[in-house]
Chains A and B, each alone.
Chain A
Amino acid sequence: DIQMTQSPSTLSASVGDRVTITCRASQSVSSWLAWYQQKPGKAPKLLIYKASTLESGVPSRFSGSGSGTEFTLTISSLQPDDFATYYCQQYNGFWTFGQGTKVDIK
């Protein structure tokens, strides 16, 4: 299995902050990586796929980068609606997810 490790586990930030979340894979997944946002009691929502492609309808303040084993999700200016938990997910084999990064209010 390919293991996905996210850091940090929790991130405290303020509205307007630039936020970066890192995801590392235990072996190369090329660019086969997606990012999801999940709010309490809701299903995950796809934000980014193929490491850096923004899903339709997702605000442009979200961006993704990386390839191989190291990836980042960046929110350029944190908005009130962005406080949530974020998961990375590889799809270079059967799917595995990171453990999640909770972005909460500082």
Chain B
Amino acid sequence: HLQLQESGPGLVKPSETLSLTCTVSGGSITSNTYYWAWIRQPPGKGLEWIGSIYYNGNSYHNPSLESRVTTSVDTSKNLISLKLRSVTAADTAVYYCARHYTTVTYFDYWGQGTLVTVSS
């Protein structure tokens, strides 16, 4: 049974870097069938795709966030990571990791999400 678990600091100061990891269990992140994605949801608002990464490091990101986002993968630990630089209060959100097939498709498995608040 596949499980995704996000982790990281719940509070980040403005202008600093938000760093999160997503650990995958019950399946291998090196499957050649799937990409692994980050999606966020500001409190009370809708969903925004941040970026997706393949086990070999191939990645693509939302153009609106591209300049501030880095995604990476650690196959030895079966996890993916997200870094978002120069955060502001507008980056306060629940951050989810999720899985999708290698083509641009739907997200079939999601983590439970982690709330990150940007505040001094």
Closest to B51 in A: A94
Closest to A45 in B: B110
Closest to A48 in B: B106
- The interface size of chain A toward B, counting residues with CB under 8 Å, comes to 22
Taking a contact as CB atoms under 8 Å apart, the answer to whether B46 and A43 are in contact is: no
Taking a contact as CB atoms under 8 Å apart, the answer to whether A91 and B106 are in contact is: yes
Q: Chain A interface mostly helix, strand, loop or mixed?
A: loop
Minimum CB–CB distance for A11 against chain B, Å: 16
- The interface size of chain B toward A, counting residues with CB under 8 Å, comes to 18
Q: Please encode chain B, from 59 to 100, with 1 for each CB lying within 8 Å of some chain A CB and 0 for all others.
A: 010110000000000000000000000000000000010100
List the count of A-B residue pairs having beta carbons below 8 Å apart: 49
Q: Chain B interface mostly helix, strand, loop or mixed?
A: loop
Taking a contact as CB atoms under 8 Å apart, the answer to whether B104 and A98 are in contact is: no
Taking a contact as CB atoms under 8 Å apart, the answer to whether A43 and B47 are in contact is: no
Q: In whole angstroms, how far apart are the Cα atoms of A96 and B104 in the complex?
A: 11
Minimum CB–CB distance for B37 against chain A, Å: 8
Q: Is A78 an interface residue (CB 8 A)?
A: no
Taking a contact as CB atoms under 8 Å apart, the answer to whether B106 and A89 are in contact is: yes
The one of A49, A95, A100 in contact with B49, judged by C-beta atoms closer than 8 angstroms, is A95
Taking a contact as CB atoms under 8 Å apart, the answer to whether A43 and B112 are in contact is: yes
Q: Could you write out 22 A-B pairs with CB less than 8 Å apart?
A: A32-B105, A34-B106, A36-B107, A43-B96, A43-B98, A43-B110, A43-B111, A43-B113, A44-B96, A45-B110, A46-B108, A49-B105, A89-B47, A91-B104, A91-B106, A92-B104, A93-B104, A94-B60, A94-B62, A95-B49, A97-B47, A97-B49
Please list the residues of chain A having a beta carbon within 8 angstroms of any beta carbon in chain B: 32, 34, 36, 42-46, 49, 55, 87, 89, 91-100
